[in-house]
Structure 1
Amino acid sequence: MSARPIATDAATDSPLRIMNAPSSFEQRLESSGGQPFVFDHGDMRTLHFDHKYVQSAMSISAPDKLLLSYTRAMMGFMLFQPAPKHILLVGLGGGSLAKYCYRHFPEARITVLELSAEVIALRDHFMIPADDQRFQVIHTDAAAYMQAQQGNIADIIMLDGFSADGPAEALSTSGFYAACLRNLAAGGILVSNLWDRPDFLVQAIGQALAASDWRIWWCRTSDSHNCIAFFIKGSVTPLFRTMILRRAKKLDAQFGLQLSELVPSFQLVRDQPEEESV
């Protein structure tokens, strides 16, 4: 273990330096007994599974703010579906995406699937809302949960499930992705944080769905190696980028998510030549 740990966000591969006295972090790590734990430095509160990665980060004074660029990028689903009725998130972590959606979509129902009871037990530390009529955290295996559903359960599904070492294997199969897509309502969007996976994995998912009319657009966040993929139903129009950039600018003016910076980097996973003129 480094005497002055430099943690890399497991979901972003973006360096976050733990600047407290080294002994403070090390003592907290040792006392955790191998369980997820919370660490504070000034206004920053972070979630850790071990010494290697920061799993989630929160501003204590602004707990609903999206600090990490990959979380802002995942909110890019609003480019395609701006008014979801039900948002389902896979992976709770520190609840950054869950809290943001709960605050900014007051008419939507928010469901979060989380495998780790220990992570759920830390929800109050990250000021995650209590369960109510429109917000629920479910302790479950997301892969089994998705397979058991009969379809048409959510307008938005956001995949952000990670273990201590990276993306959870059970949430990385084409079968799991197919189950997620099957469970989307008409006009729904699947958003996935693919971390720093190479392009061929995105291509493999695309090939598994080649017989359908799903399209996969993906981009990298500007300050990390993250790939964020958006699964969108239907054909691609020639004015796709123009329309999406126009929407991004409007959303940025309202939410400040910097989505317009991502749009130029969008790439289409395809087996055929590009369907649009750029």
Structure 2
Amino acid sequence: MSEKTKKRFEKDPEVIVSELNGVRSLHLNGSMVQSSMRIAAPNELELVYTQCMMGFLLFYPKPEKILMIGLGGGSLVKFVYHHMPETRITVAEVNPQVIAAAYQYFELPQENDRFEIIVAEGGQFVVMQSISPDVIMVDGFDDDYQIPSLCSQEFYDQTRQMLNKNGMLVVNLLSRDKQVKTLLQRIERSFNGHLIAMMTEIRGNLIVFAFKNNPGKFSWKSIRKTANKLEKQYPLPFAEFVSKLQKYS
């Protein structure tokens, strides 16, 4: 990255792009990394928490429509776009500068008939839109704080209402957040207790998978079998995800 590029982003405190040891990262309003891309492998998931968010495939292997709230550097978009060609992706992102950075520095694909970006605040988007996605993925942070409009009881209620009959909500939380228990209780309340969680690493991110309708009793044998199949399709450690689900369910 040129000095010119670095200086350009230093002038704008909201969106900062850094680069270290072949990994390019996006920061919002602080030093915390929001998204990272290994320059030699731009379509793979560099950060562990983004890998774990794809753990929803253990329960919903073939989603037709995914709604992502929060774009970041577009890591999840790119992974789904390149590895799941049958899936349509809609992204709600409130900050046009984030979108511009994702295109300029993180190799985000151009919009087409299976990928669109809507400039909108996520909380308002789920109220106004009538789409029924199979999966909603929420990754909404301002530095290391959850964006209030993306973690309220009303927001979680609305995401459940928006999902299709057997849909899933995937939420990225910080385990060290003082209000994480409150947020889990809100999700549990909105989704009638139908949720399971995965700790990415010690004191790391907590990924929550919530089900619109009761998924029934989990058969770990069946989930492990699904994990083995998924590992043949995608470059992700699904068997490890299952282990993490057992520890933190």
- TM interval, short-chain normalised: 0.7 to 0.9
Percent identity of equivalent pairs: 34
> Are the counterparts in 1 of residues 151 and 183 from structure 2 also a CA contact under 8 Å?
no
What residue in structure 1 maps to residue 35 of structure 2? Answer: 56
Residue segments in structure 2 that go unaligned for 5+ positions in a row: none
How far residue 42 of structure 1 moved from its aligned partner, in angstroms, is 4.0
Question: What's the secondary structure of 1:46's corresponding residue?
Answer: strand
One of 139, 150, 153 as aligned partner of 2:132: 153
Q: Does 1:114 align with 2:93?
A: yes
Distance between the aligned counterparts of 1:71 and 1:177, measured in 2?
20
What residue in structure 1 maps to residue 110 of structure 2? Answer: 130
Q: Does 1:140 align with 2:120?
A: yes
Q: Does 1:216 align with 2:195?
A: yes
One of 78, 85, 89 as aligned partner of 2:64: 85
Q: Does 1:204 align with 2:203?
A: no
What residue in structure 2 maps to residue 5 of structure 1? Answer: none
What residue in structure 2 maps to residue 101 of structure 1? Answer: 80
How far residue 137 of structure 1 moved from its aligned partner, in angstroms, is 1.1
Q: Does 1:41 align with 2:20?
A: yes
Q: Does 1:175 align with 2:175?
A: no
Question: What's the secondary structure of 1:144's corresponding residue?
Answer: helix
> Are the counterparts in 2 of residues 115 and 142 from structure 1 also a CA contact under 8 Å?
yes
Q: Deviations over 1:245-264 (max 9, x none)?
A: 22112212321311211223
Q: Deviations over 1:112-149 (max 9, x none)?
A: 11011110111221100111111111110110110113
Distance between the aligned counterparts of 1:79 and 1:188, measured in 2?
13
RMSD, aligned CA: 2.5
Distance between the aligned counterparts of 2:8 and 2:144, measured in 1?
16
Distance between the aligned counterparts of 2:99 and 2:203, measured in 1?
27
> Are the counterparts in 2 of residues 193 and 227 from structure 1 also a CA contact under 8 Å?
yes
Distance between the aligned counterparts of 2:248 and 2:162, measured in 1?
21
How far residue 80 of structure 1 moved from its aligned partner, in angstroms, is 1.2
How far residue 266 of structure 1 moved from its aligned partner, in angstroms, is 2.3
Gap change, CA 1:269 and 1:236, over 3 Å in 2: farther
Distance between the aligned counterparts of 2:58 and 2:96, measured in 1?
33
Residue segments in structure 1 that go unaligned for 5+ positions in a row: 1-19, 271-278
How far residue 201 of structure 1 moved from its aligned partner, in angstroms, is 2.8
Question: What's the secondary structure of 1:262's corresponding residue?
Answer: helix
Distance between the aligned counterparts of 2:39 and 2:96, measured in 1?
23
Distance between the aligned counterparts of 1:269 and 1:222, measured in 2?
11
> Are the counterparts in 1 of residues 156 and 186 from structure 2 also a CA contact under 8 Å?
no
> Are the counterparts in 2 of residues 92 and 114 from structure 1 also a CA contact under 8 Å?
yes
> Are the counterparts in 2 of residues 29 and 50 from structure 1 also a CA contact under 8 Å?
no
Distance between the aligned counterparts of 1:43 and 1:83, measured in 2?
32
Q: Which amino acid aligns with 1:99?
A: K
Gap change, CA 1:41 and 1:208, over 3 Å in 2: closer
How far residue 33 of structure 1 moved from its aligned partner, in angstroms, is 2.9
Q: Deviations over 1:173-198 (max 9, x none)?
A: 12101111111112211111112243
Gap change, CA 1:80 and 1:195, over 3 Å in 2: same
Q: How many residues of Structure 1 are paired with residues of Structure 2 in the alignment?
A: 242
Q: Does 1:246 align with 2:225?
A: yes
Q: Deviations over 1:192-250 (max 9, x none)?
A: 1112243443123213443xxx610111013652111111221432x522211221122
Distance between the aligned counterparts of 1:188 and 1:209, measured in 2?
11
> Are the counterparts in 2 of residues 88 and 112 from structure 1 also a CA contact under 8 Å?
yes
Distance between the aligned counterparts of 2:34 and 2:165, measured in 1?
32
TM-score (norm 1): 0.79
Distance between the aligned counterparts of 2:240 and 2:137, measured in 1?
21
